[in-house]
């Protein structure tokens, strides 16, 4: 077993002392990088890239060649599970993901197959193994999945949506059908994340991208409840080391206390909440990840540095902070702005940590 040369990210997730605040970016392997665009063009399309373990490994490592990041994240897509369930995932240029067979009736939900992760999603597990081998202990590898609610949203709407009409109609008019779907997805996500851990992922994140569109009561019943089930079912230790988990609900600032009780080691924050206030509310119980507005990266390096300094000061001294954006990096960001961001986190955070 290769020794991990930089475990700052894992230590921070467990609120253990670190020498400086670790940093990575959601969607760090992506369209803002010219080398990513070249590899995607070579693959042919987005799903072909995801399904090629060698090319998925290549794009996972690309940002690490440019920036001194403290973690790598598996290159894949949150919609691999619905695709494996036979819904016919495809991507249209400029329009995002779509499904050829969206779920429209109770019968559609009942007919969803139980997927076998090792065979149906073998390309993801092969990518995890390939990436871990290529990293050779350089930094930890993060595995991930979409939350059941977020996956269900795409599956019922048939793609991206602005009004959530079909999914919310099912939630309120046919809650028993909604719960059946979410139960199936929670089981699949638990199995999927555990398979990633066994393949080599050293931490996992649940992306609840659309949890924030729910009402207060509906969030508990239809999103958080199922993420709690997943976290409870995760492998907590592998190869003699704890495997931390992160739960990230975009626009979830109202529910931080409840999310902190999910059992996850870390709560991801978007940019709409002050991280110092979030630490006062839940920081004794969990680590925090976030939470710079991705649009700050359109600014000049000095302004980026100011924003990093402000967030670090708001969090304050001690461990338990993983610096990140409050959502994925935008595709139009200039790559050199990320240099300014990562360098600022490492340079300015040292004074907040006792370890030298």
On the CB side of 252, CA atoms within 13 Å amount to 29
Q: Looking at the DSSP assignment, which residues form a beta bridge with residue 159?
A: 98
Strands 141-146 and 241-242: unpaired
Q: Does the annotation place 331 within a ligand binding site?
A: no
Q: Answer yes or no: is 27 a known binding residue.
A: yes
**If 0-12 CB within 10 Å is exposed, 13-18 middle and 19+ buried, where does residue 184 land?**
buried
What is the number of alpha carbons within 13 Å of residue 263 lying toward its C-beta? Answer: 15
- E strand or H helix that includes residue 178: helix 175-199
Q: In 116-240, where do the E strands start and end?
A: 141-146, 203-208, 237-238
Residue 340 marked ligand-binding: no
Measured CA to CA, the distance from residue 27 to residue 230 in angstroms comes to 23
209 annotated as belonging to a binding site for a ligand: yes
Q: Is 39 annotated as a binding residue?
A: no
* List of residues 6+ apart from 191 with CB closer than 8 A: 117
31 is in an annotated binding site: yes
Task: Tell me whether residue 202 is annotated as binding.
Answer: no
60 annotated to a ligand binding site: no
Is 327 a known ligand-binding residue? Answer: yes
Which residues touch 129 (CB under 8 Å, ≥6 apart)?
Answer: 53, 199, 200
CA 9 to mean position of chain CA atoms:
14
Q: CA nearest 124: which of 209, 65, 177, 53?
A: 53
Active site residues: 27, 31, 40, 77, 154
Which segments are annotated as binding site for substrate? Answer: 27-31, 77, 154, 209, 327
């Amino acid at each position: 077993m290769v020794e991990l040369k930089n475990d700052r990210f894992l230590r921070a997730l467990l609120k253990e002392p670190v020498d400086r605040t670790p940093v990575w970016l959601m969607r760090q392997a992506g369209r803002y990088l010219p080398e990513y665009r070249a590899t995607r063009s070579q693959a042919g399309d987005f799903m072909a890239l995801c399904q090629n373990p060698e090319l998925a490994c290549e794009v996972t490592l690309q940002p690490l060649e440019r920036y001194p990041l403290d973690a790598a994240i598996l290159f894949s897509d949150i919609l691999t599970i619905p695709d494996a369930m036979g819904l016919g995932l495809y991507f249209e240029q400029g329009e995002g993901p779509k499904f050829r067979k969206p779920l429209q009736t109770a019968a559609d939900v009942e007919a969803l197959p139980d997927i076998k992760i090792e065979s149906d999603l073998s390309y993801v597990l092969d990518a995890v193994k390939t990436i871990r081998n290529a990293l050779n202990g350089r930094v930890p590898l993060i595995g991930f999945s979409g939350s059941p609610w977020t996956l269900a949203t795409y599956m019922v709407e048939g793609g991206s949506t602005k009004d959530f009409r079909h999914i919310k109609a099912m939630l309120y008019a046919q809650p028993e059908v909604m719960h059946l779907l979410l139960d199936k997805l929670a089981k699949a996500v638990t199995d999927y994340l555990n398979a990633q851990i066994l393949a080599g992922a050293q931490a996992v994140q649940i992306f609840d991208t659309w949890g924030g569109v729910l009402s207060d009561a509906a969030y508990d019943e239809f999103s958080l409840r199922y993420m709690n089930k997943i976290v409870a079912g995760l492998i907590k230790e592998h190869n003699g080391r704890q495997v931390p988990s992160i739960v990230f609900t975009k626009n979830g600032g109202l529910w931080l206390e409840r999310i902190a009780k999910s059992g996850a080691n870390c709560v991801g924050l978007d940019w709409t909440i002050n991280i110092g206030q979030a630490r006062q509310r839940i920081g004794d119980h969990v680590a925090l990840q976030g939470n710079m507005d991705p649009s700050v990266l359109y600014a000049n390096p000095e302004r980026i540095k100011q924003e990093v300094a402000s967030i670090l000061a708001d969090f304050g001294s001690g461990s338990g902070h993983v610096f990140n954006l409050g959502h994925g990096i935008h595709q139009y960001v200039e790559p050199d702005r990320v240099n300014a961001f990562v360098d600022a986190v490492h340079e300015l955070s040292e004074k907040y940590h006792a370890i030298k």
